[in-house]
Chains A and B, each alone.
Chain A
Amino acid sequence: MELAVIGKSEFVTGFRLAGISKVYETTDIKATESVIKSVLEDRSVGILVMHNDDISNLPELLRKNLNESVQPTVVALGGSGAGSNLRDKIKQAVGVDLWK
């Protein structure tokens, strides 16, 4: 299995330098959406890396799909709310905000 990275040019270049081949450079939200959909269906991708700002700009339904996806697991980097989807899940399941 491989890692995939989706994002703007400045976000993905470093990952390309680390040898990751499934790097998708996108410029606008529409392109990002279609690339995400194809990556979610790609069974050879185990981990999907995205910038948190890009995730927060996505439509609600797609964002929910990404947050709940286990294969590929989505890892959000940067921005202010990197662990916020886990925090929400913890609050919902346990009833207390333990992600402090």
Chain B
Amino acid sequence: MAQQDVKPTRSELINLKKKIKLSESGHKLLKMKRDGLILEFFKILNEARNVRTELDAAFAKSTEKINLASAVNGMVAVRSTAFTAKESPEIQLSGHNIMGVVVPKISSTGVRKSLYERGYGIIGTNSYIDETADAYEDLVEKIITAAELETTMKRLLDEIEKTKRRVNALEFKVIPELIATMKFIRFALEEMERENTFRLKRVKARMRD
């Protein structure tokens, strides 16, 4: 609020005081929300880091397995076996609330399959392909866990950033400007009071003369 736009009146001063009080309580609440979100973020940070490490290890293992299967059976055989696979894994998304931020909870069905459910023939394939399928099923499970945690982290981080920006705007822009305007109105009112007293004294002096 620019100071020159404000009329230095008592009602304006009362309104400003109310606004400052409201802004200060909002600032306090937002600060508490930011701290709470950061605490929640710290709770899942370690878990997310561990899952990422496990995911990288699972990916390296799966790549090794598929390379081995390709070396033994040939890439064409592995690819043709892959095309016969049926029953796609399904994921279900549900949300839960962390301090006003809706984060997903992902559950899955049909990721782990038995040898007979995979869809390819047992006679035409060997254990290398089975191990590869096993490794990739494990990888898919890890991907689902990582996706849940990483989405939660992304949403929390977005909210933390937003809240931080609001807290800073209130702390360094809105509240200081309101206080400056309040001071300006107080000075103006005091000045008017002094002028009035002086005027009254002059009138009194003239009347005496």
A-side residues, CB < 8 A to B, are: 1-3, 9-10, 13-22, 46-47, 49, 68, 70-71, 73, 75, 77-78, 82-83, 86, 89-90, 92-94, 98-99
Residues of A within 8 A of B157 (CB): 89-90, 92-94
Contact A1 B88 (CB under 8 A): no
Contact A18 B133 (CB under 8 A): yes
Closest chain-A Cβ to B102's Cβ sits at a distance in Å of 10
Residue of A nearest to B55 (CB): A77
Residue of A nearest to B158 (CB): A93
Q: Is the interface of B mostly helix, strand, loop or mixed?
A: helix
A-B contact pairs, 14 of them (CB 8 A): A1-B91, A1-B93, A3-B89, A13-B78, A14-B66, A17-B78, A18-B111, A19-B85, A19-B88, A46-B93, A73-B104, A77-B55, A78-B56, A86-B154
Alpha-carbon gap, A75 to B54, bound state (A)? 13
Selected contact of B136 from candidates A18, A47, A93, CB within 8 Å: A18
Stretch at the interface among B1-9, B139-147, B191-199: B139-147
Q: Is the interface of A mostly helix, strand, loop or mixed?
A: mixed
Query: Contacts A1-B90, A17-B78, A17-B132: A73 and B150 contacting too (C-beta < 8 A)?
Result: yes
Selected contact of A17 from candidates B41, B81, B106, B151, CB within 8 Å: B81
Residues of B within 8 A of A78 (CB): 56, 59, 63
Alpha-carbon gap, A3 to B136, bound state (A)? 13
Residues of A within 8 A of B164 (CB): 93
Residues of A within 8 A of B158 (CB): 93
Contact B161 A92 (CB under 8 A): yes
Contact A49 B89 (CB under 8 A): no
Closest chain-B Cβ to A26's Cβ sits at a distance in Å of 15
Closest chain-B Cβ to A65's Cβ sits at a distance in Å of 13
Selected contact of B88 from candidates A14, A21, A92, CB within 8 Å: A21
